[in-house]
Amino acid sequence: MTKKLGHLTKIFGLFLTITSLYSCVTYNLEKKLNTKLREWYSIHSILMQTRLPNGQIEAVYFLHLPENMQIAYIRIFWKIRFTLLDQDKEFEARVGWANRIFGGEKAGKGYSTDRGQLFLLCGAPFQVSFFDSRGEEEGSIFTGSIELEPGTIMAWYYFYAGQFIGFYFESDGMGGWRTSQNFRFPHSENQAYFLAICQWELAPTEEGWMLWQQEVTK
């Protein structure tokens, strides 16, 4: 288990380095998408941060496709992944929940908030706790509408492989919650491992890539 953790962490760390190098490029390419494609990409890009069999990060690969191929890729997006039955519906449900619970922070687009991005990728946390600015726990509640004083910390805990992995958000005192953490750039080895697992569970497979290649050559 320890060897696997180290291996996955190294892979994820390498991926993060490459992602940071491409960040400016992807931002400019994203701006060139038409409105419908940009909206789809903004929702699904959190799932597109792993490497494809051709060595490219999926998000980068998608953004470099011509528009007609981007549309074709979207049609086959869930078919090229090794997912559970109705995983696509589960993800769309997460988007809906994120918009309802966290939408007050960003004009209805709750999925694009800090909490929304983590929710899309990893689902609901096992436990949510609140701490005041002195670090004293105020309680364990799961709600997206609570407004607390600036500096209050909301901790999301996920339970995986026998341990809790925490992610932390700070209240701005006006109903918004921000984190200094970018979920594509985790702070700790445990976070990196957990996020890598969440990513890899929804990543394209070798068989899926072959299916896409068949689509390309039609």
Q: What is the pLDDT of residues 146-203, one digit of tens each?
A: 446 777 888 899 998 888 999 888 887 777 888 865 555 456 778 888 888 888 888 8
Name the DSSP letter for residue 55: S
Give the per-residue pLDDT at 111.
Answer: 93
Task: Decide which of 139 and 184 is more confident.
Answer: 139
The model carries a pTM of: 0.79
pLDDT tens figures, 116-126: 999 999 999 99
The span from the CA of 25 to the CA of 28, in Å, is 5
One DSSP character per residue, 151-218 reads T-EEEEEEEETTEEEEEEEEE-SSS-EE-S-BTTB-SSHHHHHHHHHHHHHTSBPHHHHHHHHHHHT-
Range of the domain at 157: 2-216
The C-alpha R_g of the chain, in whole angstroms, comes to 18
The span from the CA of 11 to the CA of 193, in Å, is 10
In the three-class reduction of DSSP (H, G, I as helix; E, B as strand; rest coil), residue 101 is classed as helix
pLDDT reading at 15 higher than 80: no
| pLDDT band with cut points at 50, 70 and 90 for residue 18 | very low
Q: What total number of domains does the chain contain? A: 1
Pair 205, 82: CB distance under 8 Å:
yes
